[in-house]
Structure 1
């Protein structure tokens, strides 16, 4: 039933849909190489949507719409706000790169980016299995097209094919798991599924069978091992601007559907899915950190780094229910939310530097391409160093506090298993520090390949500087973002 509340709750999605169509039409008359009008209209749309989502999040209330198929709650609205900001930053960094490679001959990049973000918003707001799947398909189909945007580039086309095939398989896993849960509970609504599972009158084996497929699908979307095989090839093969687009904001949407499905829908089965998540986290930390050491390509290194970082996010999700009680839930889930938000912020900065250097006529995606960057541009070398140290978890940067929060949530459980996992995560992080520090060493101690200085458009330079500063400032003063994540999770779980 379409009522006023439904329109208000879905206002950000409606704005995105309308403006994506308007921008596609307006772009037909744009002739400039950098698609100036299309670009600024897109950024304006994203700014409005981010502001609207933040305003709804600060209201603090939870609303259901469209027959309880859509939910507006603080956690979802903050994730929407951060996803819109991440997409804005991605387009600022990516526009010069895309223009140099003739990816802006039409406005498809901006329109597809808006449709991908719309898919993420639908995923984040979904309170129904089919709505989650619709959002997922809208996001992934847009992402496949974005990866293949350079149609004349064999590597990008190959990456798009791999992404499409493996993505379709993962979507099938998720859909099959949802169908099993529907068959067991008789409902597609997450709150009704929760009530049915809590009643205890449903065949436990059928539920767990469906749950296995759902966890596999979520593992793929998050990029957790052993469902990680698409990440290195797609990150490496896709145009770098698109690599950043699929490696930042979509992670926030994947985290949201993990919370919606596992926590809001199936927390009575936590003893089953937490064990699966523990296996995924250990595998991700091992595979990600060990494989990244062997990489000479910066994009592949960051791809394996993503797998390792997702290991921490999944680790936080696995510590919410201890001995049948949810006392630790708010700490564990807010730690994971803080981790994923700060990870996206740091990734934006790291890929922003790669995109900036790539404007010199080559991809600049080898670690050796950063040689002597400090001598050519101390500012950009400093930003990259801050991002690398943050990903490694070096204090006082924000990545350190993200890891610390997850480890505190594990230790707070008081269980030997979780304390053992925390120790393992620390050891894995120490191994991972090697490849991050190698990048810093190359920038500061190796001789530069070229003597040319690095130049950037004013908008890129301003956003990149702010990006690097936030990684440092949120590390020194993390309390505000921590409190925001904690309050959002508490309010969301309370409903």
Structure 2
């Protein structure tokens, strides 16, 4: 029988199994030690070892082959392989931040690692999914772990409030997503992406149930990537969560969620459904505008990056729209992936720096806290400057090429006004990215201002992200061509 699940299926999901088994070690050891934490260094090493094994297993899969597992419910190809490796690296770098952060390094570090690794498992499932029901399962695994992680930050009142908001709004988005899946199943008779692709051309315009299902499914995912008007949870949750979790959510969750959106968009639901196509274009522009304008008036560094994340989701949505037009060049898909990867690296680096400044619980890093840092810590100031300029899209950094490929794809598809709004918003964003730089180099430090003392792992995080941003800026063309070749 061809539907029998065999060793091949198990081998394909072996990275997931490796991460899950690894997540159990710290918890099991803590239970065996009478609820006493082992050394945080050992816990971190165990987690990194499991992630390393997962990456090694992913690399053993053929780079350009497209294979299915579990009766077609999961699909493994070059794109899913690349995204899986990137979210593994994000998880590892986020754990580095966790180890040095006062809000996560303590009596609950084992639980923190367990939940973060299980969120990574949910991301794997979402990235590999070829079935909307499987997407929902992965989404819930990831979301439930994140809800608990946000609330786990010692006794921070802000974290509890953020967790509650995230849980309520996230549950609503999940319900909308599931209702959309139910409508699609009622129309198509299947939840597989392949089946939706086959029925989409004939159903659009003739089947109201199919169109409503497509719209609700899309709305559920747009919430996860903070597209306007589903972005209101982002600044509060990012500010209230531990910084390591903010790094993980703003990068890993975005990659996994956009992976699902790209799969869904590739079915042709926006290319043939003019209404949704037009709506998505306006949402992309509004998301950029709202994110950038709101970031201008913020003083809290994490809230600036939260609204910046909203704006960047708008840029990425432009790439998604280009992908949905169904062209053969893969420019929309490859530019979206390139942007996601470069954005993730820069954000991880900046949040590593913020974490290194948090010397106590409930600490809030303001832009003013960077006064005089250029004189005290010239090396760190240089890294912050480069990362901020990369987010702003200043050449020749990786962030510039990310925006260039996105906007070039929009122009190729005749979406000139969308590319123009993207450029305008990039110019607007320069203001709030330059504010911290001005504080570092043009303002004197205040008396009694605490000195930034990153621990070794923070330096490692900062060094890795800084090096990769420079590397991707130099070799952006090579990575872009690779992403074009792997396809969707």
Shorter chain as denominator, the TM-score bin is: over 0.9
Aligned position for 2:141: 138
Q: What is the alpha-carbon distance in structure 2 between the residues aligned to residue 249 and residue 8 of structure 1?
A: 24
Aligned position for 1:176: 179
The CA deviation at 1:38 is: 1.2
- Is 1:82 the equivalent of 2:80? no
Aligned position for 1:43: 48
The CA deviation at 1:119 is: 0.4
The CA deviation at 1:469 is: 1.8
Further displaced range: 78-87 or 13-22: 13-22
Q: What is the alpha-carbon distance in structure 1 between the residues aligned to residue 297 and residue 449 of structure 2?
A: 28
Further displaced range: 282-291 or 14-23: 14-23
Q: What is the alpha-carbon distance in structure 2 between the residues aligned to residue 106 and residue 398 of structure 1?
A: 34
Q: Secondary structure at the match of 1:320?
A: helix
Q: What is the alpha-carbon distance in structure 2 between the residues aligned to residue 55 and residue 220 of structure 1?
A: 34
Contact 2:184 2:213 in 1 (8 A): yes
Further displaced range: 338-347 or 186-195: 186-195
Alpha-carbon displacement from aligned partner over 1:120-154 (angstroms, at most 9, x marks no partner):
00111111111100000000000000000025221
Aligned position for 2:248: 245
Contact 1:383 1:468 in 2 (8 A): yes
The CA deviation at 1:269 is: 3.6
Q: What is the alpha-carbon distance in structure 2 between the residues aligned to residue 202 and residue 420 of structure 1?
A: 26
The CA deviation at 1:268 is: 5.8
Aligned position for 1:478: 476
Q: Secondary structure at the match of 2:181?
A: helix
Q: Secondary structure at the match of 1:76?
A: helix
- Is 1:434 the equivalent of 2:439? no
Q: Secondary structure at the match of 2:182?
A: helix
Alpha-carbon displacement from aligned partner over 1:308-336 (angstroms, at most 9, x marks no partner):
011110011112355xx6245x0011111
Contact 1:184 1:203 in 2 (8 A): no
Q: Secondary structure at the match of 1:107?
A: helix
Q: Secondary structure at the match of 2:5?
A: coil
The CA deviation at 1:265 is: 6.7
Q: Secondary structure at the match of 1:59?
A: coil
Q: What is the alpha-carbon distance in structure 2 between the residues aligned to residue 286 and residue 221 of structure 1?
A: 18
The CA deviation at 1:470 is: 1.4
The CA deviation at 1:477 is: 2.1
- Is 1:71 the equivalent of 2:75? yes
Aligned position for 1:454: 452
Q: Secondary structure at the match of 1:248?
A: helix
Which of 199, 213, 216 does residue 213 from structure 1 map onto? 216
State the TM-score, normalizing by the size of structure 2: 0.94
Further displaced range: 187-196 or 157-166: 187-196
- Is 1:254 the equivalent of 2:254? no
Matches of residues 370-381 of structure 1 in structure 2 within 5 Å?
370-381=370-381
Contact 1:162 1:234 in 2 (8 A): yes
Further displaced range: 265-274 or 59-68: 265-274
Matches of residues 52-451 of structure 1 in structure 2 within 5 Å?
52-56=57-61, 59-98=63-102, 103-150=106-153, 152-200=155-203, 203-264=206-267, 266=269, 269=272, 271-320=274-323, 322=325, 326-328=327-329, 330-359=330-359, 363-413=363-413, 415=414, 418-449=415-446, 450=448
Alpha-carbon displacement from aligned partner over 1:425-456 (angstroms, at most 9, x marks no partner):
10111011100011111111111235665333
Contact 2:265 2:320 in 1 (8 A): no
Contact 1:223 1:310 in 2 (8 A): yes
Contact 2:194 2:267 in 1 (8 A): yes
Q: Secondary structure at the match of 1:318?
A: helix
Further displaced range: 358-367 or 116-125: 358-367
Aligned position for 1:6: 9
Q: What is the alpha-carbon distance in structure 1 between the residues aligned to residue 201 and residue 418 of structure 2?
A: 29
Contact 2:316 2:339 in 1 (8 A): yes
The CA deviation at 1:299 is: 0.7
Contact 1:285 1:311 in 2 (8 A): yes
Q: Secondary structure at the match of 2:68?
A: strand
Further displaced range: 173-182 or 446-455: 446-455
Q: What is the alpha-carbon distance in structure 2 between the residues aligned to residue 382 and residue 60 of structure 1?
A: 39
1:104/1:369 CA distance change after superposition, 3 Å: farther
> Where does structure 1 lack aligned partners over 5 or more consecutive residues?
none
State the TM-score, normalizing by the size of structure 1: 0.93
Q: Secondary structure at the match of 1:60?
A: coil
The CA deviation at 1:5 is: 1.5
Contact 1:54 1:78 in 2 (8 A): no
Q: What is the alpha-carbon distance in structure 2 between the residues aligned to residue 285 and residue 229 of structure 1?
A: 14
Q: What is the alpha-carbon distance in structure 2 between the residues aligned to residue 423 and residue 262 of structure 1?
A: 23
1:4/1:202 CA distance change after superposition, 3 Å: farther
Which of 464, 467, 471 does residue 465 from structure 2 map onto? 467
